[in-house]
Amino acid sequence: MANAYHGKTILGELMDNITVGDADSTQSVYVGKATNGKLWVEIYAGETAVVLGSADALEFYLQTASSDTLGDHEAPISHDNSGGKTPDASGTFAHEEANEIATDGATYGVKFTARSGTLTFAVGDLIAEIAIPDTMMRLCGHTYVQLKMINTGVSGTIDAFVVARM
């Protein structure tokens, strides 16, 4: 799939007008292991504006996997900054116990809060961009991405795409 939306070449869609909530994307997108630093996840307000009040928070995290099975994705990290997948003595990777948000390596995500008043993204506004990490994808052996959304009190809908920048 390669179409244009917001003037970009789209490789795949992660979310299509999804109501803001605690959710993983409804799609997984194949990106391969070598992204060459040119692939990004772009997140937009969908058909309804995204509104954060003063006590609200909205977070997005990139997750990756070696298959397109939704729910099997995890944060792409360098385990203890050692540069690859290294299990402990029991065969468990350090991040598997961190409830998907790793504490021992790099995670790829964004978090928004309004602080005071409200923060509004109008329909079609770009909310965030997350780079798909080239080196980490190779080291983890991952070829698919999905997006995790965490929400506290936010309203609206989300569109998210994997785009190529050539």
pLDDT digits (tens), the chain, 166 positions: 445 555 678 888 988 998 887 676 768 888 887 777 788 999 999 999 999 988 888 888 888 777 777 666 666 654 443 444 545 555 555 444 443 444 333 467 888 887 778 899 999 999 999 888 887 777 777 788 888 888 888 999 999 999 988 6
CATH number of the domain at 3-164, please?
2.60.120
Report d(CA 108, CA 131) in Å as an integer.
Answer: 8
Buried b (16+ CB within 10 A) or exposed e, 128-159: bebebbbebbbbbebbbbbbbbbbeebebbbb
Tokens of 57: 């928070």
The H or E element containing residue 136 is: helix 134-140
Cα angle: 129, vertex 79, 82; to 5 degrees = 110
Separation CA 96–CA 87 (nearest Å): 10
Query: What residue segments make up the domains of the chain, in order of their start?
Result: 3-164
pTM for the whole structure: 0.77
Q: Identify the helix (H) or strand (E) that includes residue 151.
A: strand 144-152
Please name the residue that has the structure tokens 């397109």. 68
Burial of 95 (0-12, 13-18, 19+ CB in 10 A): buried
- Provide the pLDDT for residue 70: 62
